[in-house]
Amino acid sequence: MTKKLSYQQLKDIDREKIIHPQSVPKQNADEGPSMIYSKGDGIRVTDMDGGTYIDGVSMLWNVNLGHGQSELATAAYEQMNEFAYGSQFYGNSNEPAIRLADKITEYAPGDLDGVFFTSGGSESNDTAFKLSRFYWQLQGFESKKIIISLKRGYHGVTVSAQRATGIEAFREFSGSGDPHIINAKAHLTAAEQGDRTSSDFEKSIRGLIEQEGADNVAAVILEPVQGAGGVHLPPDGYLQAVRNLCDEQNVLMIADEVICGFGRTGKNFAVEHWNVTPDMISFAKGVTSGYFPLGGVIMRAKVKEAIAQYDQMLAHGFTYSGHPTGCAVALKNLEIIEREGIVDHVTEMEKELQKGLHTLQEKHKCMTKSRAIGLLAGFDLMKDPEADQLFENDVKAAETFVKACRERNLILRKFDFEDGMNTVAIAPPLIITKKEIQELIDILDDALTAVH
Ligand code: PLP
């Protein structure tokens, strides 16, 4: 029997032994973890010290079916008892992985028709980069290596995915990284539509392709709706313009749907909102609602068929590619999403969330630019939105606000960027009800009143 440890003992061990991901190490070394989660139920999680909180961001935008879904636990249990793990290396396979590939390609738009499995989002993006370069190599275009990503895009933390991330602190941490990755310095710009007179032209995707030469560019990667860069929806026509640009320049388009995929935005994949078919989609998070680490890349028939004809070993793949237990959990997750009509429910709840955010924005002067697509939402905090005035850099407006929400038993996520932008993200589990959305809005209201 494992010895029972008190809350304080656990905190102390954590403080002494663990370096936490995407956290401030010194803060943890000084204070220990801010929460030790012990239980989850629906949209709520419980901290070991007894507090219960609304999980307003589905942990890391991934626990889409909410906490405590016993059907997912049972699916994992049954698969583990039957056959817990087997690799896909050396041409081997397993039934859950086969069924899942079939299901995912059925969901995917257009002629996206093949799947390469990974264990998460970063691995999926690295895979998409490698496969797009390899695709061009197979076509005889050896020099097409450059991947272009966007300002404020977030693609993960493996070296290449992090290099592609357009948030400065992350890019820097990847070191010299992958030399063939370039980040556009202009954000979601109309210049992609061919407007050469735009002041953003040179820093746009189109400008970069022209500067580097299309013969050297393999792919463009973007999130259809940016998440960790501050929840940004693309301007009307933007994704289609990038699709056209990629076709015109013979460059592949990769949609990073690691957050958006499997219902988060009210469609199976966010690109469907704009009727765009990318050449590859990377996915992870929502495919298992976070109950098992799993991800992958879906690719169009032309890419899959080119790779499928390669007659030597494909020198890429993860131990956990196509993990049978992960795939069984994903299959059950997708079955529940279908059975419960979750994607349509998200569209309904979007209206409630939009309405609530709109009311708050009318009421609180500092709250501005609220936006939501499905249950992926955000707003900015500014000192004076009418005068376009940001808070001074040393005023941590979003941080203070998110703390106030925590004190009111709501977990949210804040972003404070180098340019002084303070953004708050909201992405509750997709099973949230109308009544629970109202509860969330009431807490936001109270916290905004208290803080700003
Ligand atoms: N891509 C996007 C859009 C993400 O939001 C994330 C993680 O938040 C990733 C990729 C990286 O995924 P992972 O942390 O599973 O490697």
Rounded Cα distance between 6 and 13, Å, is 11
**Nearest-CA neighbor of 18 among 36, 43, 40?**
36
Flag whether the ipTM exceeds 0.95.
yes
Q: Which residue type occupies 91?
A: G
Q: Which of 156, 163, 158 is nearest to 177 (CA)?
A: 163
Contact 233, 373 (CB under 8 A): yes
- For the chain, report the end-to-end CA distance as a whole number of angstroms: 50
> Residue 296 — φ and ψ, nearest 5°?
175, 175
pLDDT of residue 47: 96
Cβ of residue 126 lying under 6 Å from some atom of ligand 1: no
Closest by CA to 106, choosing from 274, 332, 262, is 262
Q: What's the gap in Å between 188 CA and the centre of ligand 1?
A: 20
CATH architecture of the domain formed by 35-68+342-451: Alpha-Beta Complex (3.90)
Q: Would you state the pLDDT for residue 74?
A: 98
The number of C-alpha atoms within 13 Å of 387 and in the hemisphere containing its C-beta is: 5
Spell out, as residue ranges, where the chain has pLDDT lower than 70.
1
Angle made by CA atoms 432, 58, 260, in degrees to the nearest 5 = 95
The reply to whether domains 35-68+342-451 and 72-339 share a CATH topology is no
Q: Is 432 in the pocket of ligand 1 (CB under 6 A)?
A: no
d(CA 432, CA 426): 12
* 248 contact partners, CB below 8 Å, separation of at least 6: none
* Residue-range domain boundaries for the chain: 35-68+342-451, 72-339
**What pTM, to 2 d.p., does this model score?**
0.97
In whole angstroms, what is the distance from residue 221 CA to residue 230 CA? 17
What are the pLDDT digits (tens) for 273-328?
999 999 999 999 999 999 999 999 999 999 999 999 999 999 999 999 999 999 99
Res 103: pLDDT: 98
Identify any residues that bridge with 116 across adjacent strands, giving them in sequence order: 297
Quick count: other Cβ atoms within 10 Å of Cβ 118?
29
Residues 6+ apart with CB under 8 A from 6: none
Strands 252-256 and 422-426: unpaired
Angle at 83 between CA 81 and CA 89, to 5 degrees: 155
Q: Please give the pLDDT value at position 1.
A: 62
Inter-axis angle of helices 434-451 and 397-407, to 10 degrees?
120
CA 307, CA 137: separation in Å to the nearest integer?
10
Which residue's CA is the nearest one to ligand 1's atom 12?
121
Q: Find the 155 Cα to ligand 1 centroid distance in Å.
A: 5
Tokens for 362?
Answer: 């009318």
CATH number of 72-339: 3.40.640.10
Return the residue whose CA atom lies nearest to atom 7 of ligand 1: 156
Give the per-residue pLDDT at 338: 98
Which tens digit of pLDDT belongs to each residue from 157-170? 999 999 999 999 99
* Helix locations, 262-419, DSSP H: 301-308, 324-339, 342-363, 397-407
CA of 292 to the centre of ligand 1 (A): 14
Select from 285, 287, 294, 297 the residue to mutate for testing ligand 1; criterion: most ligand atoms less than 8 Å from CB.
Answer: 285
Return d(Cα 179, Cα 334) in angstroms, integer: 38
Looking at ligand 1, which atom is closest to the CA of residue 293? 15
**Is the distance from the beta carbon of residue 261 to the nearest atom of ligand 1 less than 6 Å?**
no
Residue bearing the CA closest to ligand 1, atom 13: 121
Distance, CA of 280 to CA of 109 (rounded, Å): 10
Alpha helices in 70-115 (DSSP H): 70-83, 95-107
